[in-house]
Structures are given as C-alpha cells and as structure tokens.
Structure 1
Amino acid sequence: MAGMSAPPPCRHIYSLDRCDDYLRRRQAFAAEQPFFSVVRLGEARTHLDILERPDAVLWAVEDILSIALK
C-alpha cells in the first residue's frame, strides 16, 4: 500500500502476535506512512479478536472512520 499514489486509511487491528517487536515494526511503518495505523488488542488470546473483544474492535474501527471522514 505504501507504493500507492493515494492509499486509503488503513488500520491493522490484531491480537496475536504478542511479540513486542512485531508491534514496534508496525508502529515504525505507521510513523513513516500517515495512512497506516496499528492497534494491538491487549486481552484477546486468539486471532478471533472480533469475537473476543468486539468492544475494542468497534472502538478501533469507529476511531479510524472518524479520522478518515474528516
């Protein structure tokens, strides 16, 4: 997406991988690419964070939509 001339807002919402380096790499990319952001959900234990933490996923989606629709 970084190669696109006008990439749409993109948010990576995830729960696993719990490795801090995985998150740091995405945060570094986000710092260089204003269209990208990342949210790691703290209490989900599987890849099915939408089922485990629907409240947190909804917040992350509503938050990026509020930014994108400004």
Structure 2
Amino acid sequence: MDYTPGVFTVERHIRGKWVCDDCETLTQAPLDALRDLLLSEPVLHADATPVPMLVPGKKKTHWVYL
C-alpha cells in the first residue's frame, strides 16, 4: 500500500530507502566516536568465542564467532 500525501505517491521501497539513509546519518557520528576511542587505546582485546546461532528457516544451529 502506498502513502499518498496530496497528489503524488511515494512507493514503499523509496520510503524504506529514506529510512535507511536517515538511520545511517544518525548513527555515523557515534560510530566514528566509538572507533576513535577504541583505536586510541594501546591495546584492543578481541574475543573469538564460538556461539551457537540459529540458521534462518531451519531448526538447526551452527557455530559463529563474535
């Protein structure tokens, strides 16, 4: 179903793109600040712990790393 403000129609996929673009714009500054903070440290710890993840559409899990 399309949203019709006034006399023109904005298709659903276009509205979805607008939302995605807005979210990217709003989250970019905090992500950049977090990246700068993490990379300013002399040591960055990473953990390669395997965790089970449900396979979409199936009732099985497989192991993924964080």
Give the TM-score, by structure 2 length.
0.26
Q: Which has the higher contact order (CA 8 A, sep 6+)?
A: 1
